[in-house]
Amino acid sequence: MKIHNIKNDSISGELKKRLDEAEKDIENGNYKSFSTVEEFMAEFNKPRPWHYRLKLRVKWFYEDWISPRTWYYRYLRIHRWIKWGFDPYDIWSIDHSLSKWAIPRIKKLKEIKHGIPVCVDFDMELLVAYESERGALVETGEKRSEMLWDFVLDKMVEAFELTIEGDWEKSGGHKEHYKKIQKGMRFFGKYFNNLWD
């Protein structure tokens, strides 16, 4: 296998000049190195000088309110919203959009429910999931059904909230985060036709 040295290859004069400048900076110690991510984050999160923060705020204000490009994209967004019947930003992340839409509705359904689907009493998978998380279910009759249905709705809400949050470290790692979402979505799919009052 042939190893190429970038300086010996045919590269542009500009790139060669920038590489030479970078080498000189390294030799002179004109760079900051970090041995851990925490050191880097501490340096990154240091407060910036007031003039730097002011410059950023002016730039953001211009880009958000004055820039013609911003107004053009706002016009396109409104035009598509009218034409399609929904916000075009929704299709960039449909899972996030649906989660934001579903959470308040499922919570309200749990709060004002007038009935409970009969099928929760006969779902052994649901019973096993309930007992593995909340202990043995000793209630019988309607109270038992209500507790199982509340558990299902809680799992749906949890899955949608985790989808929005996206912070898998709070869930105990990426695999656990994904498992919790999949568990709630499985209940959502299974009991989709029962989400009515």
148-167 residue pLDDT tens: 999 999 999 999 999 998 77
The stretch 76-98 carries a mean pLDDT of 90
Cβ atoms of 150 and 117 closer than 8 Å: no
The stretch 71-92 carries a mean pLDDT of 90
Task: Quote the mean pLDDT of the chain.
Answer: 87
Helix boundaries (H) for the chain? 13-28, 37-44, 50-61, 68-84, 94-112, 124-134, 141-165, 174-190
CA 6 to chain centre: 40
Q: How many CA atoms lie within 13 A of 109 on its CB side?
A: 22
Cα–Cα distance between 145 and 167 in angstroms, integer?
Answer: 32
Q: What pLDDT, on a 0 to 100 scale, did the predictor assign at position 10? A: 60
Q: How many CA atoms lie within 13 A of 192 on its CB side?
A: 5
pTM of the model: 0.64
Q: What pLDDT, on a 0 to 100 scale, did the predictor assign at position 158? A: 94
Cβ atoms of 188 and 159 closer than 8 Å: yes
Rg (CA), the chain: 28
Cα–Cα distance between 196 and 114 in angstroms, integer?
Answer: 9
> At 55, is the pLDDT very low, low, confident or very high (cuts 50, 70, 90)?
very high
Q: What pLDDT, on a 0 to 100 scale, did the predictor assign at position 11? A: 67
pLDDT tens digits along 18-30: 888 888 888 887 7
Domain ranges for the chain:
93-194
The two three-digit tokens of residue 77, written as one number: 């967004």
The two three-digit tokens of residue 13, written as one number: 């004069």
Cα–Cα distance between 143 and 81 in angstroms, integer?
Answer: 45
